[in-house]
Amino acid sequence: MMRNLIAIAVLSGLAACGGGQETATDPGATKFNSVCKDCHGPDGQGQGRFPKLAGRPAEQLAAKLRQYKSGHKSENMSDTMRPFAQTLSETEIDQVAAWLATR
C-alpha cells in the first residue's frame, strides 16, 4: 500500500513538470543561448559568415558537432568551432541539435 502511494506521488510529480515552459527550460536552448548565440544569432538564424542552423535535421547538426569536437575536419570546416563543440557533452550535443531542428 505504502509503495503504491509513493509510486503515485512520483508519477504525478513527473506529470506536473511536463509541458508549458518548454522554451524557458529546454536544456538545448539554455546551452545555445550561453555558448553559440553570439555567432549563430538568436534561435540559430545565422548572421554574416555564421551559418544558419535553425530548422536543419538534428542528426546532421549533431554529426557536424561531433566532427568539430573530435577535430576531424572536412570540407569547409575551420578551427573556429572546435573549442565551442568541445564545451558540449555527448548529451548536450543531442539536446542543442534537437532544439535547433525545431526552430
Write out the residues near ligand HEC by the rule CB under 6 A. Answer: 35-36, 38-40, 49-51, 53, 61, 64-65, 76-78, 80-81, 84, 88, 96
Output the smallest distance, CB 16 to ligand HEC, in A: 30
2 vs 56 by CB, closer to ligand HEC: 56
Output the smallest distance, CB 93 to ligand HEC, in A: 8
**What 3-state DSSP class applies to 26?**
coil
Angstrom distance (rounded) from CA 81 to CA 49 = 13
Output the smallest distance, CB 8 to ligand HEC, in A: 39
Question: How far from 13 is each of 6, 23, 27, 36, 60, CA to CA, in Å?
Answer: 11, 20, 19, 33, 35
Angstrom distance (rounded) from CA 27 to CA 84 = 16
3 vs 49 by CB, closer to ligand HEC: 49
